[in-house]
Structure 1
Amino acid sequence: MASNADYAVQDVRSTDFHCEKNNQEHRTSEISTKRLIVRRGQPFHITVQFNRYQYDPDVDRLKLVAQTGPNPSETLGTKILFSLSDTINERRWSAVAVSSSSTKLSLNIHSAPNAKIGRYTLALQKITVDQTVIQPLGEFVVLFNPWCSEDEVFLSDAGQQNEYVLNEQGIIFTGCSEYIQPLPWNFGQFEDDILDICLKILDNSPKHLKNPTKDCTRRSSPVYICRTVSAMVNCNDDNGILFGKWDDPYTDGVYPGKWNGSVAILRQWNSSGCQPVCYGQCWVFAAVACTVLRCLGIPTRVVTNFESAHDTNGNLIIESEYDEEGMELERSDDSIWNFHVWVESWMARYDLRPGNDGWQALDPTPQEKSEGIYCCGPAPVKAIKEGDTDIGYDVPFIFAEVNADCETWVYSKKGKKLKVDADTRQVGQRISTKSVGSDDREDITNNYKYPEGSAQERRIFELANKRRVPLKPEKQLQLHLKTNDPIYNGTNVKVSAVISNKKSVKRVCTLKISAMKKKYNQSSRQKCIKKYQQEINVGPSEDKTVEMELSYAEYGEFLDKYNLIRLTALVIDGEENESVFSLRDISLINPKIAIQVRGVTMLSQEVLTEISFENILPTALTSCVFTLEGAGLIDGQMEIRVGTLNPGEVITKEASFIPKKIGLKKLTVDFDSDSLKDVKGYINIDIQAGEK
């Protein structure tokens, strides 16, 4: 028998990466079973087949070479050489020979828990007396690992691991604080080609294009990856994914409310040569970021802040200005959004002082620049709650989103400015995310702020140098707006203004009520639906109610996806020189889409569904269409055209598809027509494996 030195490593014939088994163990088989995708800090098994070679650990000097990025370097940690050893070292790259024969060598390889994520090549190196021979073994992908206790993104709870990493479907909460609407979303992070698109996003970041070698050396840090993704989801500074737009028209793109999931957006960006996809708004930016981060292995969830402040000058005060008719003047750059959506990612923060680990807020919606680019975070949620505004990144901005004070001013026709309201409680309400394991809403407001009025809250305000509005004595003239909740789209809206006179004398006042179109992120100047004015007498210590009604004929043409209407009321007592103001945003409820599943729901077998919709509006709907989407259920989207629906008419359509993945999946259905758009419905479907 010839000696081992007679044979070189180039005698390697093939490498079996055992993709199906390894990927199953690394929880990546939903992405693919055709190529090796592993999570860092966890072993995987390979088998090397030789033409003629017998491995002898006492003689052979073999090393494995793992490389990532351009110009791999041992110094920079993008080229790792490691010898075969007797035992696995779980803190660094290591390998052991499990078995060997005359033609086969089986290895267990363990990547470091702080390995750079991304594409790798693996090679076998043999050193002899007179030469070093390197034989490529193949390629694989390394992701973050929330199941590894040494990984910065480690998450100990199994339910949270499944929800925030593995769940491809979700719920995003929108609307307004008094009527929260669940929006189904298909994250689809394990759909075909999404992983490659996510890695392409990293490779198209400005930092990578400027210095790809340096960028790849930093890809071990979830903080760095999150900040990169936050910037790349919007296209304001780079070849990012989404173009944000909040005003009509949207005819040269897709209205943001039309999207049902991230997959179509990411595929369009990829196929168009990295041209921005038109259009996105906050929940779309956040949902796409969630898809990318979950795909890369970082636990991430979508979070909605109701009554969210956008403080542009950092003074923690949002000023709203109205004219004497109750119409917003929109002269301030500050604003309060009915809701604003961002994401949280879970990680350790070794770059900060202790106590800032856990959920980190990230906001890919382009609002303000951070270090010169449009991104936001990661900001420790604990730091936001404690008012630690010196902590990176962007804690002061998010602190203001959930804590800013609100001041309301009314301008007379002569230009006189009068403060009519000051509210320290309006901003940062019912902060919401999807519950683990269900579609219910979880309120996480207490993660971001202490209870209003508590001693801790006052301490935090002082720590953050918050400008508090001083408490004033109770007003002698008070005003409150009420509506007939719940309010369904197509019905009349009954508005009641309750004026309270706390004095012991009669008051003669002017009441002005205005209804205007409202966009979720700001008001819509000059889009007035209705104005109402009345002179009223309010007796001593009397509560007087004045009613106004809005019909569908008046408001129907102004509605968009969220059916938001802003109601304002202003009462002026000219004799006493006293004014009082009240504001209420309402969101009209759209008709529901009813979805039923008929028969069995088995993998690779046709699933039958029945979709029903009733037109509850007092007008006919034309050009009606259902759009169906669901990760693991439907490849892309399915359209069912309906035609015209008369008032009160119910339409029922059947749809069928063949599921490609087992487990609990979410089928989303979007209804569109000429005058009623983006009505969403969904159903959870449990796909069984069936008999083998």
Structure 2
Amino acid sequence: MEALKLQYVNLDKPQNHKHHRTEGLSSSSLVVRRGQPFRLTLGFSGPLKRITDDLILRAVLDGLHFDIPFTLSREPPQSQWAAQFQQAGPGPTSPYRATVWVVSPATAPVGVYRLQLLLRSPSGSHSGRTGQFALLCNPWCEADSVWLPDENMREEYVRNDFGLLYQGTPKNIIFRPWGFDQYERGILDICMTLLQVSNEHKRNWRQDYGQRADPVYISRVVSAMINCNDDCGVLEGNWSEDSSGGIPPSAWTGSGDILRQWALSRFRPIKYGQCWVFAGVMCTVMRALGIPTRVVTCFNSAHDTNGNLVIEEYYNEAGEKLPQGRDSIWNFHTWVECWMKRPDLGSGLDGWQVLDPTPQERSGGVYRCGPAPVRAVRERRLNTPYDTPFIYAEVNADVCVYVVCPGQKQTCTMDTERVGTLICTKSLGSNRLQDITSTYKHSKDATLNMALSVPGLPEAHGTRSAGGLSVGLHLVNVPVMGEHVTFSVTVTNKDNVRKSVREHVNAQAKSYNSSPSRTLWEARNLIQLAPHESKVLKHQIPSSQCAALGDSHLVNLAVVLVDTTSQERVLASEEFNISSPVINIQVENEDSIVACDGQIAVVTFTNPFSWALSGVLAVTGAGLLEDKVFLRVALLKPGETMETTVKFTPKMAGIKMLHASLRTNNNGAVIRGFKTITVLPATQSHF
């Protein structure tokens, strides 16, 4: 008698993907989520007599395997591997068919499994490979440690494939579009490969697989792998102005190109990234693996190198900020938050966890950061792993600002409010900004602009000043590229005697993560003040001085007043960014866009500057455009408008984003615009 053989396997990908909410994820495997059944249809060469004796289903994860018992129960247990067997009627490919529902435990390791079916009969045994499946975390399963109870949050933080990253300064926030691209061709397979080439997997693959059930472990592996400082990670950081040998960080528009280039290079680091690029790529990987993730920006983020929760800044008498000390305040810093339970920390610390793949400090000997519970940061539980003290300092450090002059006393201003001024992320289901500062920190008592006179060394910065001068700095309008920057300085004599005061005003170009570099504009005045008199001085930085700022568009503006008699000094400073113009995108029939139907977008830009522009326009759209669209802009005169049409075909329903960016040849600045588009299912019409 001939041995029973497996003749036919149908993984039923469309229905399984829909049921597991993995439709659109591009993979060579069936893609399913743990803790939830998926269906197989099997065809055999003959009838099955005893299911429990004749069949063994095996899930193989490299050298590990899990034998899956068959059951006739309609509700197989979700705490262990199980398979429900149902006889089915004859089909066109086999007269002996069966439907098998396979369920993995909600604690199964994330990875790519091979399914094998072992058949036994009196006449012999036969094994057949039934397919391959990628197993992801499951935010829809209450037993999974990444379970999210809110459907809107699951849609935003797992399934949404575009986002807005925030840059600039708290008073002038820039919205930067970013494509997470988790549905793009090959991206899920690359994310799975990232786990396979990690140092943890190379050191002990068996232990690595065993720990991949835990999103805490997965997130630490991914945080290390996004940067290349200790491994064959994805991105090499570069915060200099020289991007030769690579692509400037500001040129990236999404994660897909970065991950594909990394995989094609056989895991050589992609040049170059900065914090928002690291965070954007990590968000892609975590969402692809099924872990709810969002990108967060902290404005005025402190890097406290000595752990004293104090950042020291130094200015000279001319108002120039000096590059002294290792501490720094980044105008903005971008990281991610991932949602997960923390059974390793006890109760009360589940929920959003901070993870930062930007290489700043080592954690456990490796450049990575987190996961640190946001609640632990807010409640100052500084003994909480991982890296909670570092993140606490990023949002809570105080700032001591010194005005120094060789051989004379120093003046110190203590600021307890500047660090962590605003912490934000993209709102659920909209393009609005969501302020989440209160989840990280309690508000402090305002002690801004408290002037302290400190004789000798700077340690004694607790003494209050009895000084007789005050100064205020105020930007008249939001600075816009191509226009003059107008601001006022208010000088007040608080004493009963006349004063002669020197005013030094200095504007320096700067990068978002470092001290200012060169002075681009300065002014000096001698002011006479009657007792208790205030004067308002108007200043204007010509637009031509700001034209060469590059893509950062950041300026450190400071004014120092010096009493010519007492040599008392007082400082006020403001860091601001200059807004760029916006590219306009319009879509025909935008209220009735349907999946798989061709559409047209019109991209326009009018040059608002007093000088001509040239450069390259790029248009991208995850799920809308198969490839980027490039257009060379040879010369765009002042006031002249360029217009181009872009054809696109949405691949799937949902909210998608078109993103246009013009990288100018003039100074490397990037001008952007975006349009979100609601795509209806192909079977749905709009009236």
Shorter-chain TM range is over 0.9
Deviates more, 1:239-248 or 1:25-34: 25-34
Deviation at 1:128, TM superposition (A): 6.0
Is residue 399 of structure 2 the alignment partner of residue 406 of structure 1? Answer: yes
Change (3 A) 1:661 1:130: closer
Report matched runs for 1:60-99 at 5 Å.
60-68=53-61, 70-72=62-64, 79-86=66-73, 87-99=75-87
Deviates more, 1:246-255 or 1:445-454: 445-454
Change (3 A) 1:342 1:471: farther
* 1:15 maps to which of 9, 33, 41: 9
Is residue 261 of structure 2 the alignment partner of residue 241 of structure 1? Answer: no
Percent of aligned positions with the same letter in both sequences? 37
**2:577 is matched by which residue type in structure 1?**
S
Structure 2 unpaired stretches of 5+: 90-94, 447-458
Distance 1:96 1:206 in 2: 38
Deviation at 1:259, TM superposition (A): 0.9
Report matched runs for 1:122-201 at 5 Å.
122-126=115-119, 133-201=126-194
Find the counterpart in structure 2 of residue 565 from structure 1: 555
Structure 1 unpaired stretches of 5+: 1-5, 73-77, 455-466
Deviation at 1:63, TM superposition (A): 2.5
**2:266 is matched by which residue type in structure 1?**
G
Report matched runs for 1:83-482 at 5 Å.
83-86=70-73, 87-100=75-88, 103-126=96-119, 133-414=126-407, 416=408, 418-453=410-445, 470=462, 472=464, 476-482=468-474
**1:248 is matched by which residue type in structure 2?**
E
- Contact 2:68–2:83 (CA under 8 A) maintained in structure 1: no
Is residue 500 of structure 2 the alignment partner of residue 512 of structure 1? Answer: no
Is residue 572 of structure 2 the alignment partner of residue 585 of structure 1? Answer: no
Distance 2:3 2:424 in 1: 61
Find the counterpart in structure 2 of residue 50 from structure 1: 44
Change (3 A) 1:96 1:469: farther
Find the counterpart in structure 1 of residue 492 from structure 2: 500
Report matched runs for 1:523-562 at 5 Å.
523-525=515-517, 527-557=518-548, 559-562=549-552
* 2:672 maps to which of 659, 677, 680: 680
Find the counterpart in structure 1 of residue 654 from structure 2: 663
The alignment partner of 2:287 has SS state of: helix
* Paired positions, count: 663
Find the counterpart in structure 1 of residue 454 from structure 2: none
Is residue 477 of structure 2 the alignment partner of residue 489 of structure 1? Answer: no
Change (3 A) 1:295 1:130: same
Find the counterpart in structure 2 of residue 25 from structure 1: 19
Render the CA deviation track for 1:372-423: whole Å, top value 9, x for unaligned. Answer: 1100000000000000011110000000000000001122134x46132111
**1:319 is matched by which residue type in structure 2?**
E
Render the CA deviation track for 1:180-234: whole Å, top value 9, x for unaligned. Answer: 1111111011111000110111111111112222211111110011011111111
Change (3 A) 1:331 1:34: closer
Query: What's the TM-score, normalizing by structure 1?
Result: 0.92
Q: CA RMSD in A?
A: 2.0
Deviation at 1:54, TM superposition (A): 2.3
Find the counterpart in structure 1 of residue 637 from structure 2: 646
- Contact 1:593–1:680 (CA under 8 A) maintained in structure 2: yes
Distance 1:112 1:691 in 2: 35
Deviation at 1:678, TM superposition (A): 1.4
- Contact 1:612–1:652 (CA under 8 A) maintained in structure 2: yes
Find the counterpart in structure 1 of residue 588 from structure 2: 598
Distance 1:156 1:468 in 2: 51
Distance 1:602 1:28 in 2: 20
Deviates more, 1:635-644 or 1:306-315: 635-644
Distance 2:461 2:107 in 1: 48
The alignment partner of 1:632 has SS state of: coil
Render the CA deviation track for 1:12-55: whole Å, top value 9, x for unaligned. Answer: 11211111100110011111487411000001111111112324
- Contact 1:324–1:413 (CA under 8 A) maintained in structure 2: no
Distance 2:57 2:461 in 1: 65
Change (3 A) 1:130 1:604: closer
Deviates more, 1:33-42 or 1:215-224: 33-42
- Contact 1:602–1:689 (CA under 8 A) maintained in structure 2: yes
- Contact 1:19–1:33 (CA under 8 A) maintained in structure 2: no
Is residue 624 of structure 2 the alignment partner of residue 636 of structure 1? Answer: no
**1:82 is matched by which residue type in structure 2?**
P
Change (3 A) 1:34 1:523: closer
Render the CA deviation track for 1:434-487: whole Å, top value 9, x for unaligned. Answer: 000000000000000012239xxxxxxxxxxxx997483675321111112222
Is residue 513 of structure 2 the alignment partner of residue 521 of structure 1? Answer: yes
Distance 1:636 1:144 in 2: 30
* 1:616 maps to which of 596, 608, 623: 608
Deviation at 1:177, TM superposition (A): 1.0
The alignment partner of 1:581 has SS state of: strand
Render the CA deviation track for 1:296-318: whole Å, top value 9, x for unaligned. Answer: 00000000000110001111000
Find the counterpart in structure 1 of residue 599 from structure 2: 607
Query: What's the TM-score, normalizing by structure 2?
Result: 0.93
The alignment partner of 2:250 has SS state of: helix
The alignment partner of 1:60 has SS state of: helix
